[in-house]
Amino acid sequence: MAKLASLLILSAAFLLVLLVGETKASGLDATVAEFQLQGRREDQMYGVSEGSLHPQDCAPRCTHRCSATSYKKPCMFFCQKCCAKCLCVPPGTYGNKQVCPCYNNWKTKSGGPKCP
């Protein structure tokens, strides 16, 4: 009878350990899934939000930004200058400057936009 009781207690303890392990594992899976989702969100905002670019990423972003203009050389010059300061290039070839306040608010002496 004592052996049966100790076997029953041991089985209950084993089931409890398994249950806690599964709960922690499912919590870990949820954490991993949330981290991966957050990584996707950060990839979507990479280079779009202010300060999110690395200096070496400015040239390809500016190449795309200036691809639709017929004034490529000045566009690239000022885009790279703005990117170096703000570490951000707005998406697309025109407009969308509201996503990069630094890029949008940097003006020339006469008050015009400095960044393309």
List pLDDT tens digits, range 8-53.
676 666 666 665 655 444 444 544 445 444 444 444 455 556 677 8
Q: Is the pLDDT of residue 62 over 80?
A: yes
How far is residue 96 from each of residues 69, 91, 103, 116, measured CA to CA in Å?
16, 6, 10, 11
**pTM to 2 decimal places:** 0.58
How far is residue 94 from each of residues 6, 12, 74, 84, 104, measured CA to CA in Å?
75, 66, 15, 19, 12
Name the average pLDDT for the chain.
Answer: 76
Per-residue pLDDT tens for 95-106? 999 989 988 899
